[in-house]
Amino acid sequence: MLRLLESVKSELDGKKNLLAFSGGVDSSALFFLLLYENIEFDIAIVDFGVREQSKQELSYAKELANKYNKNCFTKEINLQKKNFEHNARLSRYKFFEELIELHDYDNLLTAHQLNDKLEWFLMQLLKGSGLVEMLGFEMITQRDNYKLIRPLIKVSKDELLNFLHDKKIKYFIDDTNFDKTIKRNKIRHEVANEFIKYHKSGILKSFSYLELDSKKLHDIKIVKQIKNLFVLENLNDIRQIDKIVKRLGYILSSSQREEILKNKDIIIADQIAIVIQKKFIFIAPYRKIKLDKEFKERCRVLKVPPKIRYYLKSENISAEFLMKNLI
């Protein structure tokens, strides 16, 4: 029988866990694996209303939650078609993080599996990305106030399907995932899935070695962290910025990395402020708020980068505390 890794169970036991649920193969399998391991968790599901089936998936989530005594958090979000996938991802995580803060969850669980990891790797390879971007999904990622955990990241899609069929567990299939005019789907069905079917053990070993190498090569030297504000030692390596931005829930594109290195003082996608100085790099979420004159003057005297001031103000962080030992 398929089981969760002991290293994963030790992270989940005795903690407050929130499962990002969809009703698909992966999240349905993870729901029941968590049940069988007697791990406590609740579920959250977002309905974007773009497929008729989404209402059935929402109903299924509520049905499971009621049957197994779980809290089920739901949200309906309407998005424009432009940049839909990107904006949908941001909206989902925003909802999950609101729930985490409101209900004090320790961990957010997503059902990404090995095929997803290889698919991402290949997509980034085609874009000309570096090692940090290609590795993409880690099993455990520390965020500011919670851990993002992917318990199935070493499990293949076929293993999950076999588990669901053996246990006669209901799940839904999103037909849009089979549209091969979408590059991601084409890579998934014609390359990633076939590779894993015949070479799973070798792929797992390669990812393990690559992750070890990446950690050795690209350690981040964080000089100071205050909530989601990071000050790094400037090592002239864009990959250290990549890692921090990823912690903040955003993946940089190749063009954005080039823009950061060119401008050195920038707001990315109206979400992340990045300021590169000679000795330090400042990274923080960008906030659109009004700054009073007294606060701006204090920041100016202390040499707080202008684009970082908004986050300081929004989180009531002392400018003096931030700049202590930096000037």
Within 13 A of 264's CA, how many CA atoms are on the CB side?
9
Amino acid code (one letter) for 147: K
Give the class (CATH, top level) of 6-211. Answer: alpha beta
For residue range 160-191, what is the model confidence (pLDDT) as tens digits? 999 999 999 999 998 777 777 778 888 988 88
Angle at 165 between CA 161 and CA 168, to 5 degrees: 135
Residue spans of the chain under pLDDT 70: 216-219
Domain ranges of the chain: 6-211, 222-323
How many CB atoms within 10 Å of residue 76? 11
- Let me know if 70 is exposed, middle or buried by CB neighbors in 10 A (0-12, 13-18, 19+): buried
Q: What pTM, to 2 d.p., does this model score? A: 0.73
3-state secondary structure of 112: coil
Can you name the residues that pair with 17 across neighbouring β-strands? 107
Which pLDDT does position 286 carry in this prediction?
Answer: 95
Which pLDDT does position 217 carry in this prediction?
Answer: 60
For CA atoms 155, 98, 105, 271, the dihedral sign is: positive
